[in-house]
A and B are shown apart, each in its own frame.
Chain A
Amino acid sequence: MDRRSFLGSASAVAVAPFLFRASGAAADGFTPKSLFANNPRLTPFRGFAGQDVACDNLAVEGKIPAALRGVFYRNGPGLFERGGQRYQHWFDGDGLLNAWRFTDKGVSHQAKFVRTEKFVAESEAGEFLMPSFGTAIKAKRPVKNSDSVNTANTNVVRLGDRLLAMWEGGSAYDLDPQTLATRGAITWKPELKAMPFSAHPKVEADGTMWNFGTVGFGKLVLYHLSEAGEMLRYHLLDSPPSAMVHDFAVSQKHIIFLLPPVIMDRDALKSGGSFGESLRWNAQESVKVLVVEKADFTKQTLMEMPAFMVFHFGNAWEMNNVIHVDFVKSDNLDIMSEYMPRLMRGESVASAASNACFMKIDLNKRQCSMEARSELVEFPRIDPRFVAQRNRMVFYPSYVGNDPSSRFNSVLRVDTETGKTDRYSFGENVQLEEHVMVPKPGAIKEGEGWLIGIGFDQIRQHTFATVFDALNLADGPVAIARLPYWMPLCFHGNFYAT
């Protein structure tokens, strides 16, 4: 079978019989249809009405590799509307945890909303009660601390016997890895209750986890956790103020922050604006490059670069006191402040560019330099065995084509040493989420394994999972598993082999 034909035309592939159950109206019954009536590519932004869904046996095209067994957990905002009120920002939605299970019986899917304090209270009330990131909702219940408004909607990682559903302004939520039932917000230590715990922890090959939180404007908290999930160390440090620090990087010896010049307009906030609406881009200000020693959180180096925006990092590694760090950069906050609210209104809109970027931080000379590539990308991922080690491969969803309002439709692998690329495009009728590299059991070579990810088929109006040979993307997916329904798009996730 020509793998390239998988999504080439509607008649290319016969869909195998499959069974599914949905514990609620999974798809088209939901309300703000009129917003999206003429824009089927934005269907996932309608969101769900709070229902959990499941499908026992997905239709599989191609062949799931026999050695690929495990669970692909994903998390993203899944509910955008209650009681006739619609959120204005993609970041606002309540966390909807997805588990795509690859077993000897095939592929199954399960999605369950995280039962946060907020989700439970608002489900009972049938309306939004709490302010959200990007929508100015007047609190109808007391906002006691960060966890009163925590949506647990950004990422999911496994730590010990816990599945962590993470936001970034408050606690990680603990979920049962098998049932996805919510066990509650995690308090690592009494004095860390309701502390910010970012959605982008870095887990090294030995299971050690590093994470951070942004405290007010001008402090960061650093965390070091064991593989079993014990808080080994934490440290509160003064940092240059930045109101939007979403991710960071870790090398062999250092923790690296690129603090973008985002400031909080306190007057806008005081006069009732949402948190997101009150953020301002300060182009005159620099990006602060903050490097902290892993062994001693009090040892820090600060440098500057001209203004750019960064959300996501791929990896960092160092040699001879020069740190190599890769990330995705954009010129300013427009993607978050302009593009995303328009998507949420069902508009066809072109996104500002975001490009792969590679920075060298020379700790000897105290100098930084960087180079950017031209492809439109986001959500960089690497081989998980190479976190904080020297790597030379980064994987991205990317856009290839001529439609400025289209979204990521291809996967891209970049060799950071040669600059060579490997890519596959699904054409204009598909949009892809983050794709995750899964090492083949027993493999040693970087990239040896699969690249798996989720996509939305705009023609068939359903969500699917893809499996690529991570070292040969150009050949197209080796397997696609299709759901009989569509899902809201997820932000991030991770695969855990069984």
Chain B
Amino acid sequence: MKFSNLAAAMATVTLTILAGVTAHAADLTVEIKGLASSNGQVFIALYDKSEGWMKKGLKNVGTPAAKDGVTYEFKDLPAGEYAISIHHDENGNGKFDTNVSGMPIEPYGFSNDAMGNYGPPTFEQAKFKLDADKKTVTLNLK
């Protein structure tokens, strides 16, 4: 009856591929759905390699939260493999809040159907290919 070390875990992500034209640079649209409120900001971290996964993103951006959904576009990205982690900073303190045991207490999610097993998923589980000139990734925080 003890799941006290379920410190971090798993998010539902649906991936939508819209176009299929190969290009040197591509635009990536991140759609975030299922926000519980419009309070605070949504932080999006984009990674292009497993080194630094969940630590230091290639790009880290914050965008205002909106209950009916948030969209953010990364422009002119080199084609390649990427993974995304997001968190909804509901209280707007600029941090990913955890309880005193280190367990997340603000909503978070990952690209792909990436759900970790008693921990966050790996970069490999969350990665997707960006080889078209446009791509949209949808994450559901619910």
Contacts and interface: CB of A to CB of B under 8 A. Distances in A.
Interface in B73-101: 97, 99-101
Contacts of B12: 141-142
Contact of A142 (B1, B3, B7, B9): B9
Nearest to B104: A145
Interface in B4-23: 4-7, 9-12
B32 to A, nearest CB: 14
B10 A196 contact: no
Interface residues of B, number: 24
Interface in B91-131: 97, 99-101, 103-105, 107-109, 115, 117-118
Given A142-B115, A144-B108, A149 B3 contact: yes
Contacts, number: 96
B99 A214 contact: no
B115 A139 contact: yes
B55 interface: no
Contact of B1 (A168, A194, A234, A270): A168
Contact of A221 (B97, B101, B104): B101
Given A142-B109, A194-B99, A219-B101, A214 B4 contact: yes
Most central of B7, B99, B108, B109 by chain A CB within 10 Å: B99
A426 interface: no
Nearest to A145: B103
A87 interface: no
B4 A146 contact: yes
Main SS at interface, chain B:
loop
B108 A215 contact: no
A91 B103 contact: no
Chain A interface residue number, banded = 35 or more
A92 to B, nearest CB: 9
Given A168-B2, A169-B1, A169-B4, A215 B101 contact: yes
Contact of B10 (A143, A234, A244): A143
A102 to B, nearest CB: 30
Interface of B: 1-7, 9-12, 97, 99-101, 103-105, 107-109, 115, 117-118
Contacts of B6: 143, 145-146, 148-149, 169
A236 interface: yes
A496 interface: no
B10 A169 contact: no
B110 to A, nearest CB: 9
A196 B6 CA distance: 11
Nearest to B13: A142
